[in-house]
């Protein structure tokens, strides 16, 4: 769904570092290239918390460049990222979204909490209340981290 390009960089005696140009808060490393790539997904998800906590829009993945490794966000996190970005773009607070959905603000706070499991139908309903439709699609599978 959301595949963020990352650079795997040799880090001297420490092994390899992984950095994302779109999400500079996501940095990780590993003793081997493969270990660093494995750690990159967790670093990317963890970095999303900064955007949610600060109420900042999450940058969308840029076009990969030669040598980049693509690291995907889990679908549940990607859906919440879309919701956050739409809320911010439309200047809709959790309280206002709760009013539109005829629910409590704490229910919406859970919807936009990355640590809280939320049904995709709930996220779709929230997006619909903001004038957006959530679309899902499928495509042939690729490896978790593909080098471009």
Q: Tell me the pLDDT of the chain (148 aa) as tens digits.
A: 699 999 999 988 779 999 999 999 999 999 999 999 999 999 999 999 999 999 999 999 999 999 999 999 999 999 999 999 999 999 999 999 999 999 999 999 999 999 999 999 999 999 999 999 999 888 887 655 555 5
How wide is the angle at C-alpha 5 spanned by C-alphas 47 and 43, nearest 5°?
25
Could you tell me which of 54, 70, 78, 57 has the C-alpha nearest to residue 21? 70
CA angle centred on 57, ends 56 and 59, rounded to 5°? 130
CB-based contacts of 32: which residues, under 8 Å, 6+ apart? 15, 16
Q: pTM of the entire structure?
A: 0.90
| Cα–Cα dist 146/148, whole Å | 6
Cβ atoms of residues 91 and 40 within 8 Å? no
The pLDDT score that the predictor gives to residue 143 is 57
pLDDT of residue 38: 94
Name the burial class of residue 139, with classes exposed (0-12), middle (13-18) and buried (19+) by CB atoms within 10 angstroms of its CB: exposed
State the pLDDT at residue 11: 85
Res 112: pLDDT: 96
């Amino acid at each position: 769904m959301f595949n963020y390009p990352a650079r795997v960089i040799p880090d001297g005696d420490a092994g390899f570092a992984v950095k994302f140009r779109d999400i500079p808060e996501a940095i990780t490393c590993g003793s081997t290239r493969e270990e660093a790539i494995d750690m990159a997904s967790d670093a990317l998800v963890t970095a999303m918390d900064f955007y949610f906590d600060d109420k900042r829009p999450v940058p969308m993945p840029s076009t990969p460049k030669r040598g980049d490794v693509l690291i995907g966000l889990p679908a549940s996190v990607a859906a919440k990222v879309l919701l956050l970005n739409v809320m911010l773009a439309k200047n809709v607070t959790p309280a206002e979204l709760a009013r539109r959905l005829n629910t409590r603000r704490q229910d919406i706070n859970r919807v936009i909490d990355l640590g809280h499991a939320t049904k995709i139908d709930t996220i779709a309903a929230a997006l619909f209340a903001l004038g957006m439709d959530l679309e899902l699609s499928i495509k042939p599978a690729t490896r978790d981290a593909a080098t471009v």
